[in-house]
Amino acid sequence: MKENPKIIFHLSDSQNNQQYQLEGTIKKEVLVDFLDTEQPLTDLTYTISVFKAKDEVFVNGTVECQLEDLCYRCLKPTTENIKGVIEATYVYGNENDTKDKEKELESLENVIYYVGSEIDLFDRVIEALIISIPQRFLCDENCKGLCPFCGEDLNENPSHTCELAEKFEEESVFSKLSALKDNLKDGQENNHNR
């Protein structure tokens, strides 16, 4: 099994009420495992500041990455600059059991319980990325998309009028239905004539 890289912050080496800065990158090849159809064009860069209080660790940061996917209207490969935000509070707690491995219980407020002397921020970085990916990529706000009948790109050919549109109308479900009705009627009349 492939193991994810770690972004470890060592609590034992850090002082209370001090701010620490973590910076780094996560390789494209790693990101791919967490993405759907999007392709990373760049490695992800992150900047995280960690502030340790007595039993709490406050984590804030940003992630940046460039992704490519198809425009949902015209299917042209489209690049988006993704900027995500990390906000999490780690609370020291071992209420459930005494596993010495870090235990994460996420709540809506993004509070994560931990035990042990280090926290791994990798999941926070990936979360920040995933949440910031738009549901649909759009090459341009005014993208006109494709002709629904023949697939012609309406951005390149805005005055396109489609020959297939008329044909399609004729063959629409409506006309098929009325044809079906006629057939049915014919059938009934034939029965009566018997």
Which of 73, 90, 125, 129 is in the footprint of Zn ion by CB under 5 A? Answer: 73
Identity of the residue, 150 or 177, whose beta carbon is nearer to Zn ion in the bound complex: 150
For Zn ion (CB under 5 A), the number of binding residues is: 10
Residues with Cβ within 8 Å of 7's Cβ and at least 6 positions away in sequence, in order, are: 22, 24, 46, 48, 120, 121, 122, 125
Identity of the residue, 156 or 189, whose beta carbon is nearer to Zn ion in the bound complex: 156
Query: Is residue 147 a contact point for Zn ion (CB under 5 A)?
Result: yes
- The interface region with Zn ion, picked from 13-21, 89-97, 109-117, 152-160 by CB under 5 A, is 152-160
- 2 φ, ψ to 5°? -75, 135
Residue 153, beta-bridge partner list: 146
CB of 69 to Zn ion, least distance (A): 11
Which of 26, 63, 71, 112 is in the footprint of Zn ion by CB under 5 A? Answer: 71
Token pair, residue 153, equals 């790109």
Identity of the residue, 130 or 147, whose beta carbon is nearer to Zn ion in the bound complex: 147
Token pair, residue 31, equals 């990101």
Identity of the residue, 95 or 163, whose beta carbon is nearer to Zn ion in the bound complex: 163
For residue 109, give Cα distances in angstroms to 90, 106, 113. 11, 8, 12
Among candidate residues 82, 22, 93, 85, the one with its CA nearest the CA of residue 51: 22
Q: Which residues, 117 to 146, sit near Zn ion by CB under 5 A?
A: 139, 143
Spatial distance between the Cα atoms of 135 and 105, rounded to a whole number of angstroms: 27
Identity of the residue, 76 or 103, whose beta carbon is nearer to Zn ion in the bound complex: 76
CB of 166 to Zn ion, least distance (A): 11
Which pairing describes strands 77-92 and 111-114: parallel, antiparallel, or unpaired?
A: parallel
* Chain residues that interact with Zn ion, rule: CB under 5 A: 71, 73-74, 139, 143, 147, 149-150, 152, 162
